[in-house]
Chain A
Amino acid sequence: MTDHDLVREVRARLTRASLALARVPLSLLGLALVPLQLVTYPLVLVTVGVPLLLLSTALARRYTGHHRGWAAGVLGTGIPSPYRRPANRGPMTRVRTVATDPATWRDLAFLPVNAVVGTLCGVLPLALWLGGAFGFAAPLLWLNGAREVEYSLIDADTPGNVVLAPLLGVAYLVLAWWATDRVEHLHARVARWLLAPGARAALTDRVRELADSRADAVDARAAELRRIERDLHDGAQARLVSLGMSLGMAEELMARDPEAARELLAEARESSSLALAELRGLVRGIHPPVLADRGLDGALRALALAHPLPVSVDLELAGRPEPPVESAAYFAVAEALTNVAKHSGATGAWVRVRHEGGRLALMIGDDGRGGAVPTEGGGLLGVERRLGAFDGTLGVASPVGGPTIVTMELPCALSSVKTSSSSGTA
C-alpha cells in the first residue's frame, strides 16, 4: 500500500465514521415511534385507533424499511420483506393482519434496540479517531502550559508524557482503523437479525410459494390433459371412425364393384397412416420417445440435430435425473431452442448441461439480436412455471444487440445408471 492509498483509505474510513455518527439522531428518533404505536393498540377499541394504528405501522415500516435497505447495503446481501401480504378485505381484516403480524412486533422491538445499538455504534468509531488525534494534540497543549489537561490517565506531570501520549494516540488510531467498518457491520447485523423474516415467517412464505407452484403445476397438467383429449378426439379418433366406415363400405362393395372397393381400401390405408402420424405427434408432445430411450443426452442431441440452426451440445452427466425432472429439463430446452429459431435471428446456438452441487444446470445461448424478456403468455414464462413446480429457476440475460443466454437450474439427484451410450457417432 502506497502512502497515497493509505491517505485515501483513512479518508474513506473517516467519512464512514462521520456518516455513522450522523445516523445517531435517526436512531434516537425511532424511539418516538414506540409510544405512538403502543398507544394506538388500546385505541383500536374505540375505532379512532384504526387509522392511527395503520398510520403508525406505516411510519414504523417506512422507518425499518430504510434500515433494511441500509443494512442490506452494508452486508451486501438483500433482506427480504418479512411482512404478511395485506389481505385486502375491509379495514378490519387489514388491521388484524397488521396487528398480528409477528414482523410488526419485531419492528417494535427493533426501535429501542436500534436506538441503543445505533447510538453506540455511531459514536464509537469517530470517538476513537478523535481520541487518536488528541494523543498528538495533548503534548502540544502541555508544552504550552496547559497543565490541567489530561489524556487517557496521562497528565502533564507523568514522566515521559510527551512521548507516551502520541504512542497511545497511535494505538487509538490503529484501533479506530480496525473498528470503523466492524462496528458498522455489527450494527447492520443486529438490524438484520430483527428486521429479516423470522424462521416462522420464512416457513410461511415457503408454504405459500409451494402452494402457488403446486397450483401452477396442477393447472398446467389439467391444460395438458385437455389438450391431449381434444387432439385425440378431433384427430386420431375421428380418423379411426372414418377408417371403419371405409372398411365397412368396402366390405359391402367387394362383390358388386371390386374397383370401388379397392379405392375405399386405399383410402382406409391412407386414413390409418394419418391417424398414426397424429398419434406419433401426440406421443412426442407428452414424452418424446428418444428421451425415454436415451435420456437427456440423446434427446438433446436429437433436438439439436432437428434444429434449423447449427446447435452444439455440451453435456456431462454422471447419471440420469429422475424422469419428471428430465422431462421438464428437456421441454424447457426445447422451448428455449424454439425461441432461438423463431425470434433471435441467430446464426447458431449452444446448449450446456452440467450437474453440480445437487443442481442440474442448463444453459442455452445464441448469437442473435437479444432483447428477450419472459412476458405473460410467452414461452419463457411457461418454462419458468414448469420449472417452478420442481423448485427450479430460470434466468434470462439478453441485452439488446445480444447475445442471449437462458440459464435454468433444477435441484435434483442423479441416478447412478449411466445413460445408454450411443455407438459413438452422435
Chain B
Amino acid sequence: MRVVLGEDLVLLRDGLIRLLRAHDFDVVEAVDSGPALLDALVAHRPDVAVVDVRLPPTFTDEGLRAAITARRRVPGLPVLVLSQYVEQLYARELLSDRAGGVGYLLKDRVSDVRRFVDAVRRVASGGTAMDPEVVTQLLARGARDRSLGTLTPREREVLALMAEGRSNAAIAARLFVTEKAIGKHIANIFGKLDLPLSEDDNRRVLAVLTYLEAV
C-alpha cells in the first residue's frame, strides 16, 4: 500500500516511516512542507496520505489545506490527518466533500500502534477514522439537535463508535452484544437520521456528517 507522508518534525517523520514500513506500507515520499505535500499527493496519487495539520511555511493549518485541495483535484484521495489537537471545524472541512477515505486523529494515537495502523488501513479503503475526542465533543452537543435527540442512548453510543470508524463486528465486541443487534441499531439510526436506503457503505460517513453538521 503506497503512502505519502507530510510531517515536518524529523523525529516524528522518521518514526512514522519506520512504523509504517514495519507494517508493510510503502512510503513513496515523505515531505516537510505544505506546497511539497500538495505536489507529492497530486503526482503520486497514493493509496493513503498521512498528513500533519501544521506544516511550514506558515506553521498554521497548511497541511490540512493541502489535503483538502488535493482531495478536490483527486476526488476521493484517502487522507488521514494527524494533529496535536482536534477541532470540529477541521473535521467538518475534511468531510465536507461527503466522500469517505478521511481520518482525523490526535497525534498521540500513534502510540497505540495497532489502532493507528488500523485507522490508516480503514481510511485507505474509503472508511473514516475520527478521533474519539471529536466524537465525545459531538456527543456532548448532540442532544440539542432534533434528529439526534430522537436517538436512544444506546444508538448514540453505536453512532459514536461508528463515527470513530469501527466496523459492526468491532462495535459489537466493544458493547458486548451480537453483531446482529448492532446491525439493527444502525438501521434504526439511518432511519431516524433520514438517510436514504442503499447498499452504499458511505451511509456510515453520511451518518457521521449529520452528526458533524448538527449545529
User: Are A273 and B111 within 8 A (Cβ)?
Assistant: yes
- For the complex, give the distance between the alpha carbons of A420 and B65 in Å: 10
Closest chain-B Cβ to A36's Cβ sits at a distance in Å of: 70
- For the complex, give the distance between the alpha carbons of A304 and B89 in Å: 10
Main secondary structure of the interface of A (DSSP, over half): helix
User: Are A426 and B93 within 8 A (Cβ)?
Assistant: yes
Chain A, range 185-209, C-beta contacts under 8 Å to B: none
User: Are B215 and A292 within 8 A (Cβ)?
Assistant: no
- Which residue from chain B places its CB closest to the CB of A290 in the assembled complex? B87
How many residue pairs bridge A and B at CB < 8 Å?
66
Closest chain-B Cβ to A80's Cβ sits at a distance in Å of: 45
User: Does A283 have its Cβ within 8 Å of any Cβ on chain B?
Assistant: yes
Q: With A277-B108, A308-B141 as given contacts, are A294 and B88 in contact (CB-CB < 8 Å)?
A: no
User: Are A276 and B88 within 8 A (Cβ)?
Assistant: no
**Residues from chain A with Cβ under 8 Å of B68 in the complex:** 423
User: Are A302 and B87 within 8 A (Cβ)?
Assistant: yes
User: Does A309 have its Cβ within 8 Å of any Cβ on chain B?
Assistant: yes
Q: With A280-B85, A284-B85, A289-B85 as given contacts, are A269 and B112 in contact (CB-CB < 8 Å)?
A: yes
Q: With A280-B85, A308-B140, A425-B92 as given contacts, are A420 and B60 in contact (CB-CB < 8 Å)?
A: yes
Q: Classify chain B's interface size.
A: 20 to 34
Closest chain-A Cβ to B134's Cβ sits at a distance in Å of: 11
Chain A, range 283-316, C-beta contacts under 8 Å to B: 283-284, 289-290, 292-294, 298, 301-302, 304-310
Contact among A305, A308, A425 for B144, CB-based, below 8 A:
A308
- Which residue from chain A places its CB closest to the CB of B141 in the assembled complex? A308
**Residues from chain A with Cβ under 8 Å of B65 in the complex:** 420, 423
- For the complex, give the distance between the alpha carbons of A302 and B89 in Å: 6
- Which residue from chain A places its CB closest to the CB of B59 in the assembled complex? A292
B43-64 vs A, CB cutoff 8 Å, 1 = contact: the mask equals: 0000000000110001011000
Chain B, range 53-84, C-beta contacts under 8 Å to A: 53-54, 58, 60-61, 65, 68, 84
Closest chain-B Cβ to A149's Cβ sits at a distance in Å of: 86
Closest chain-B Cβ to A121's Cβ sits at a distance in Å of: 63
User: Are A269 and B111 within 8 A (Cβ)?
Assistant: yes
**Residues from chain B with Cβ under 8 Å of A309 in the complex:** 144
User: Are A283 and B85 within 8 A (Cβ)?
Assistant: yes
Q: With A305-B89, A423-B93, A426-B92 as given contacts, are A292 and B144 in contact (CB-CB < 8 Å)?
A: no
User: Does A422 have its Cβ within 8 Å of any Cβ on chain B?
Assistant: yes
Chain B, range 127-141, C-beta contacts under 8 Å to A: 137, 140-141
**Residues from chain B with Cβ under 8 Å of A18 in the complex:** none
- For the complex, give the distance between the alpha carbons of A272 and B140 in Å: 26
**Residues from chain B with Cβ under 8 Å of A420 in the complex:** 58, 60-61, 65
User: Are B108 and A272 within 8 A (Cβ)?
Assistant: yes
Contact among A294, A301, A305 for B60, CB-based, below 8 A:
A294
User: Does B96 have its Cβ within 8 Å of any Cβ on chain A?
Assistant: yes
Contact among B61, B84, B111 for A294, CB-based, below 8 A:
B61
Contact among A284, A290, A305 for B215, CB-based, below 8 A:
A305
- Which residue from chain B places its CB closest to the CB of A276 in the assembled complex? B108
- In addition to A292-B60, A425-B96, 20 A-B residue pairs with Cβ atoms within 8 Å of each other are A272-B108, A276-B106, A276-B107, A280-B85, A283-B84, A289-B84, A290-B89, A293-B60, A298-B89, A302-B87, A304-B215, A306-B88, A306-B141, A308-B140, A308-B141, A310-B144, A310-B215, A422-B89, A423-B65, A426-B92
Report A's interface with B, CB cutoff 8 A. 269, 272-273, 276-277, 280, 283-284, 289-290, 292-294, 298, 301-302, 304-310, 420, 422-426
Which 6 residue pairs across A and B have the least CB separation, nearest first? Answer: A425-B96, A293-B60, A293-B61, A273-B108, A302-B89, A276-B108
26 contacts between A and B (CB under 8 A): A269-B112, A276-B106, A276-B108, A280-B85, A283-B85, A290-B89, A292-B60, A293-B53, A293-B54, A293-B61, A294-B60, A294-B61, A298-B89, A302-B87, A305-B92, A306-B88, A308-B140, A308-B144, A309-B144, A310-B144, A422-B89, A422-B93, A423-B96, A424-B96, A425-B93, A426-B93
